[in-house]
Amino acid sequence: MYLHSNGKYQYSPYHYQYYYPYMLNWDNQPFSGDSRQGSALMANSSITDMGQHTLADLKRAIEQKFRRNGFSDVVVTRSEVAGNKGGCRVSIIHLHKTGTQYWQVVMCSCPTINQARSMLNETLAILRSIVFFD
């Protein structure tokens, strides 16, 4: 999937990361006022193996890590774990693949592409820091 951004399409196949900067006005007209503010969406997908732990265990761990790292409005639902930080919205979904494997999809929506890239990298670092001790 590609989204249009001021005449450019952006795609990066590296580690399933996709960069989707886009103008909120689909006709590419400036926003009201003198601002040409846009929005950016970045996503990363990977396969995670739960081992003997449940998806609920992982979601609780993500929620706790989000709260410790300054995320606000953290929610845990059947479909996602999400929270806000620094003007960005981060959402993580898990889609069942096989057995104990899940596709983990991380999506960050921010005002700029640099903020989105930074927030995605911060979120991925948080996810990599989750360790279960048996």
pTM of the model: 0.72
Q: What is the pLDDT of residue 38?
A: 59
Q: Does residue 15 have a pLDDT over 60?
A: no
User: 4 lies in a domain?
Assistant: no
Distance CA 83, CA 10 (A): 26
Number of compact structural domains in the chain: 1
User: 6 lies in a domain?
Assistant: no
Tens digits of residue pLDDT in 24-40: 434 444 444 434 455 88
Distance CA 81, CA 99 (A): 21
Tens digits of residue pLDDT in 96-129: 888 888 999 999 999 888 899 999 999 999 999 9
Distance CA 19, CA 81 (A): 21
Task: Supply the range of the domain harboring residue 44.
Answer: 19-24+38-128
User: 111 lies in a domain?
Assistant: yes
Q: What is the mean pLDDT of the chain?
A: 77
Q: What is the pLDDT of residue 3?
A: 39
Q: Which residues of 54-77 are buried (b: 16+ CB within 10 A; e: fewer)?
A: eeeebbebbbebbeeeebeebebe
Q: Which residues pair with 75 in a beta bridge?
A: 82
